[in-house]
Chains A and B, each alone.
Chain A
Amino acid sequence: MKTITKHIFTAMLLMLPMMLLAETGFELAKAMEDKSAPTDMKSNMTMTLTNKQGKTRESTIRSIAADDNRKQIIWFLAPADDKGVAFLKIEHAQKDDEMRLWLPAFKKVRRISSKKKADSFMGSDLSYEDMTSRELDEYTYEILGEKVVDGIDCHILESTPKAGITRTYKRFITYVSKTDLVSILDEAYDTRDKLLKRRVMKYRKNKGYDLPTEIFVENVQKGSNTRLIFSSQEVDTGVKADLFQEKNLKRMPK
């Protein structure tokens, strides 16, 4: 009897660190959010859209983001018929987000409804919702397990919008790198709980940050995909808040 008790006590002592270290889904999501991120980022990107017939269309984009991606301004530099179009996004905590599109052919800044989150961004597989941040407190989280993805050991984290939160997706399954706490693979399910999009991200280390080098988004149901390749990135350059104004949509990007 004493031996059994001794074994049980020993097992509990061995399990104690694991019990102490086991985190909840919310804690994992919070750890991802609390991970250090640049105060701002300037990047040049190539966006390649591929339809299900394999036909491609390539755009060149200049992007500047700040405030944890809550403010972003994007200029389309190519192809020629998109050149000059620019997009401004400002996420607000207390009121509807602002999204504005500069249309050179009309010489107007057109405000877009932030409720049209399902709409495609410039014909890509990214929707406007895909381009906005997920607020930590608007979701419930659960760790479903572990998996190795592309040689990277990952947690499987399920995120579900809370009741009353309107989103175009029913839930997300995110494969989170255990070492770097970044999303390696993100699967979005539509309102019928069918897999709609799959997003794969690659990173590189720069100044202590994990910066994306490539984002691949596949619309599983349509058979199309969008690939974003970052050709240059600058971080913590001191981007000023007044950059995110309408006037800068009209001028050539810096």
Chain B
Amino acid sequence: MKKLIPAIFLMVLVPLASFGQFNFSGDLTPSGMLRISDGSLINLPFRLGSIEVDYARGDFELKTVTALETRWKDPELSEDMFLLREAYLMWYPAFGEVKLGKMIHAWGAADANNPTDNLSPYDYYYMFLTGTDRKLGSMSMAVKTYVSDFQIELIAIPEFAANRFPLNEPDFPIDIPVPDGAQYFDPENEFEVGGRLQYAMGIGDLSASYFKGNDRSFSPAGLEIDLAAMMSGGNPFISHLTYRETDAIGLDAVLFPGNWTFRGEFAYFRTQTPEIEYDMSKFTYDAEYLQSVIQVEYAFANTVQLMAQFISNNNQKVESSMEKDGNFQNLEIMLQDISNHSLDPMRAQIAQMGVPEFSAGMGTPFAMIADQVVILSSMVTLLDNSLELSGMLMVNLKETGYMANIGSTYSMMEGLNLETTLGYFIGGDEEGNRFKQLEDFSNLKLGLSYSF
């Protein structure tokens, strides 16, 4: 049978190729990041390359994107992975387009930071990249239709997909507080829907969107007390995490007043912890928050572009509570009754226990770092478009924090680019300052990019 497989493959492939159109493309992108402080290698996974295979016949297209992820050392931290990032069928009827399969979605008018873009989860290993490189595909169906100056898009996601977080990753700069042994509750209702309406005006485009689904980032659901573990001298606390149910209403626009370009996005989120039938002390959240991005662009000369972006995350209302279960109450009573001082650390721990602070589970990833930032960036092309230089400065407006990034892309020959990026972080001494945590991540990134 195995000997027949190549023959069967050819019997299927040749007719397909005869009656349709195959298209192959891809890239090789080896890169490395060196810590500025001591020159050591930052050992995080990266995508060594990817390949895209498209097949088109008539009004149908099949698209696949596969990538290879690896790391330079300590392979035990993760396995090399061939990732099928996207595989979906597209149909182009007269009324618009229909897509079905595993795919990455992109909504929003602003660049890189999109509060209204919540359909696809983020891969936080790649959160400092742009575009689809930092997103993950998910099983979904999308229908888009064009009526005069309007575009209407509807999306259904039957299978929930969460953000991918670098947990237990020593070199990842942001501390993601997940307790040891934490257990996850999948969303009660995995089915998610979204819709977007876009109107093309003379002066620009205006869009409104709605998404009903689940947070892409987990949040605390509760605490379970394992008395048997405590009796045997172990940690009695088992953390449970879940994904809140969230509705997101969005507005975004791109406008061209004079020689300026204005891009803006506003998203309102309403999020609630779902009912969980489980014997534990429960944390519940009922919150509303707003995220916005306002972006202004100006092209001074043909090769120089400037962009300023203001990103904001505001909690409008946060109601949270902890409902202690019987085991928790019994533990509190037991610790009060027993005078053994070896239990003092546990008494202190219990006394400090409460509902963890609320954090947004959806929206722009930079909300994880700061509530209000300003980003200034510029790009210039030199040497007749052979060299592209870019610079970016991010300033945290709520507490001391800066990120500066200088990059270059040099075209060595057709399809082959040399890419360098210098990223530098400065944080203040405030407790929990995220930018301070990022200081040791200041790095020099070197990479080659070959497209075929």
Contact = CB atoms under 8 A, between A and B. Distances in A.
A116 interface: yes
Contacts of A111: 200, 204-205, 254
Interface residues of B, number: 47
Given A92-B202, A245-B146, A115 B25 contact: no
B146 A55 contact: no
B302 A119 contact: yes
B384 A52 contact: yes
A113 B54 contact: no
Interface stretch (B35-43, B129-137, B322-330): B129-137
Interface string B102-121: 00111010000000000000
B302 A108 contact: no
Contacts of B96: 247
Given A83-B25, A251-B90, A115 B259 contact: yes
Contact of A242 (B94, B144, B414, B451): B94
A18 interface: no
A95 B383 CA distance: 37
B61 to A, nearest CB: 6
Interface of A is mostly: loop
B99 to A, nearest CB: 10
Contacts of B381: 123
A51 B384 contact: yes
B258 A120 contact: no
B337 to A, nearest CB: 61
Nearest to B104: A107
A236 interface: no
Interface residues of A, number: 40
Contacts of A137: none
A96 interface: yes
Contact of A105 (B133, B299, B386, B417): B133
Interface string B127-166: 0001111000000000010100001000000000000000
Interface of A: 49, 51-53, 55, 57-58, 79-81, 83-84, 92, 94-96, 98, 103, 105-108, 111, 113-116, 118-120, 123, 224, 242, 245-248, 250-252
Interface of B: 21, 23, 25, 27, 54, 56, 61, 90, 92, 94, 96-97, 104-106, 108, 130-133, 144, 146, 151, 200-205, 254, 256, 258-259, 261, 299, 302, 381, 383-386, 414-415, 417, 449, 451-452
